[in-house]
Chain A
């Protein structure tokens, strides 16, 4: 791919993300242009934007970036363009982990993040096990395994809600996904996790490239596929868990972001990872803006907005059965 197209990609996706962030900061319940700075009213609005809107917008950006990264990683891992934390049940696993923590009376974000990670890893392990047992490493096999994991962990969350009653009313809203009222520590914390996840995945970029051509082709050029799988699965789980702990369950961003970037013509992971992060982040900021403004003063759940846009695209991909690698009939 030409340098010009890549430069165009960074400029385009970067501008999109910046524009989304700027729009997200500008529009809100308190209008920045309602009062000039210096007046008490103007200062108050600016404080609202700095203390409430800015961390919210940034949390949305990092959550979207994390989902873009996790989606890219999982799609390479399973050589399947339909893989992402939501469709594989990883988000459901993380949601169950966090919900269990809250239901047992926990309150700290660290604890919820930890149990979310455990849940995400358990779900991903379950999916991998099912794929292996079904002896059908096809696109359908993976999606079926993901659906099974989704149903299982979804049922566990429902079970929790039956028992925990009132405590979990808040969790229901949180399961729909929301970045309302997130604080600076949450925004910066998620940002740190995304940065770390990006560094970890970026270090594997060429090995992930090699995996695009199938396991044997990757082994042939010296990729330790087993270790790579383990590492990437952990990083993707950590990113998905961080998103669930900070912003709840948000579907389809991880599916759409890498797909759009790849369509644009940047399948190499050294470009795919940063561009999918930029696009996913910008997209979630835009989705949050829609969630806030579409039916104001009512707020739509963020996960509902992303699903409304993402689900039809997912269906379209499923119908087209787009696989990452054309054919993978390697030596037996």
Chain B
């Protein structure tokens, strides 16, 4: 995808990786890299491998083939602490625990060894940036779903990493909170960090990301439009998917087109243009009554 020379500058890079879940190949032979200042959106339907891809980048699982490198060094050779010094990861389902928010956020300083007053300042700053300033003394268990999501994002902020890997960061967030969160992502990129976020939301991807990695391209347009989001008949019957898993497509957000989205999601959206940001946005086709 890119030439050898730039691989040295990449924060995270993958070469020829593939992954499968339960015998089903999600993707194979994927080359990809994340550079400082870049924001990537990983888009695709449910079960296409977005979360798996992010877990590979975070070193939470090993690829079936190929290798993930962090600043040129193989991820599998690095200790967790070293990985966490460069890579911050926010899981899809933020677990809860009995600590107060302040204590929870301080865990972000574990890998870097940040301590004392410096850590406290950073915790307060991160909480402020994610609108949690007044919540520091509350137990994480007492926070709302959206607040807990922001708590995990703020903990990643405390971690002060070079790469941010966010799995569905907008989930549980209301419109205003999501908009501010995306603003935070852009700010991270402006600081020279690389960001990868997973989303189903094509419009958010087009608006926020510099590049889009579109998963699930195998779903051809022949699938009936009336059954969006259903697994293929073969997968439903428990058979291996006959179609070979293609590598995800790399797209520029301005180049997103209704055909590509239909190819991934099996639903042809209505393309429009964002009047202010001048990027493509996509609307649902008109809804008609029908079976799920």
Do A and B touch directly, given a CB cutoff of 8 Å in the complex?
yes
Contacts of B54 in A (CB 8 A): 331
Q: Is B58 touching A224 in the complex (CB atoms < 8 A)?
A: no
Q: Is A325 touching B100 in the complex (CB atoms < 8 A)?
A: no
Across the interface, name the chain A residue whose C-beta is closest to B167.
Answer: A331
Q: B149 an interface residue at 8 Å Cβ cutoff?
A: no
Contacts of A212 in B (CB 8 A): 97-99
**Interchain CB contact (< 8 A) of B95 among A1, A2, A217, A267:** A217
Q: Given the complex of chains A and B, what is the CA–CA distance between A214 and B93 in angstroms?
A: 10
Q: A216-B60, A267-B98 are in contact. Are A331 and B85 (CB under 8 A)?
A: no
Q: B94 an interface residue at 8 Å Cβ cutoff?
A: yes
**Interchain CB contact (< 8 A) of A220 among B79, B82, B84, B93:** B84
Proximity bits, A275-313, B CB within 8 Å = 1, else 0: 000000000000000000000000000000000000000
Shortest Cβ distance from residue B248 to the other chain A in the assembled complex, whole angstroms? 18
Q: A214-B95, A324-B98 are in contact. Are A220 and B88 (CB under 8 A)?
A: yes
Q: Given the complex of chains A and B, what is the CA–CA distance between A329 and B148 in angstroms?
A: 14
Q: Given the complex of chains A and B, what is the CA–CA distance between A330 and B51 in angstroms?
A: 11
Q: A209-B107, A213-B104, A268-B103 are in contact. Are A220 and B91 (CB under 8 A)?
A: yes
Q: Given the complex of chains A and B, what is the CA–CA distance between A213 and B93 in angstroms?
A: 11
Contacts of B88 in A (CB 8 A): 220
Q: Is B91 touching A331 in the complex (CB atoms < 8 A)?
A: yes
Shortest Cβ distance from residue B174 to the other chain A in the assembled complex, whole angstroms? 21
Q: Given the complex of chains A and B, what is the CA–CA distance between A332 and B93 in angstroms?
A: 10
Q: B282 an interface residue at 8 Å Cβ cutoff?
A: no
Contacts of A268 in B (CB 8 A): 99, 103
Q: A118 an interface residue at 8 Å Cβ cutoff?
A: no
| Residues 90-122 (chain B) with a chain A CB within 8 angstroms | 90-100, 103-104, 107-108, 110-111
Contacts of A224 in B (CB 8 A): 79-81
| Residues 185-213 (chain A) with a chain B CB within 8 angstroms | 206-207, 209-210, 212-213
**Interchain CB contact (< 8 A) of B96 among A2, A207, A209, A327:** A327
Q: Given the complex of chains A and B, what is the CA–CA distance between A213 and B94 in angstroms?
A: 8
Q: Is A219 touching B60 in the complex (CB atoms < 8 A)?
A: yes
Contacts of A329 in B (CB 8 A): 93, 95
Shortest Cβ distance from residue A189 to the other chain B in the assembled complex, whole angstroms? 34
Proximity bits, A314-332, B CB within 8 Å = 1, else 0: 0000000000111111111
Q: Given the complex of chains A and B, what is the CA–CA distance between A223 and B60 in angstroms?
A: 12
Q: B177 an interface residue at 8 Å Cβ cutoff?
A: no
Q: Given the complex of chains A and B, what is the CA–CA distance between A2 and B91 in angstroms?
A: 29
Number of interface residues of B (CB under 8 A): 40
| Residues 33-74 (chain B) with a chain A CB within 8 angstroms | 51, 54-55, 58-60
Q: Is B81 touching A213 in the complex (CB atoms < 8 A)?
A: no
Q: Is A217 touching B94 in the complex (CB atoms < 8 A)?
A: yes
Q: Given the complex of chains A and B, what is the CA–CA distance between A324 and B95 in angstroms?
A: 11
Q: Is B85 touching A222 in the complex (CB atoms < 8 A)?
A: yes
Across the interface, name the chain A residue whose C-beta is closest to B103.
Answer: A268
Contacts of A207 in B (CB 8 A): 110
Proximity bits, A5-39, B CB within 8 Å = 1, else 0: 00000000000000000000000000000000000
Q: Is A209 touching B103 in the complex (CB atoms < 8 A)?
A: yes
Q: B89 an interface residue at 8 Å Cβ cutoff?
A: yes
Shortest Cβ distance from residue B70 to the other chain A in the assembled complex, whole angstroms? 13
Shortest Cβ distance from residue A61 to the other chain B in the assembled complex, whole angstroms? 27
Q: Is A331 touching B96 in the complex (CB atoms < 8 A)?
A: no
Contacts of A225 in B (CB 8 A): 80
Q: B252 an interface residue at 8 Å Cβ cutoff?
A: no
Shortest Cβ distance from residue A260 to the other chain B in the assembled complex, whole angstroms? 14
Shortest Cβ distance from residue B147 to the other chain A in the assembled complex, whole angstroms? 14
Q: Given the complex of chains A and B, what is the CA–CA distance between A324 and B96 in angstroms?
A: 9
**Interchain CB contact (< 8 A) of A326 among B58, B83, B85, B95:** B95
Q: Is A326 touching B97 in the complex (CB atoms < 8 A)?
A: yes
Q: A221-B108, A221-B159 are in contact. Are A332 and B51 (CB under 8 A)?
A: yes
Across the interface, name the chain B residue whose C-beta is closest to A227.
Answer: B80
Q: Is B84 touching A222 in the complex (CB atoms < 8 A)?
A: yes
Binding site for B on A (CB under 8 A): 1-2, 206-207, 209-210, 212-214, 216-217, 219-225, 262, 267-268, 324-332
A–B Cβ pairs within 8 angstroms, 15 of them: A212-B97, A213-B140, A214-B97, A216-B91, A219-B58, A220-B88, A221-B110, A221-B155, A221-B159, A222-B80, A224-B81, A268-B103, A326-B96, A326-B141, A331-B93
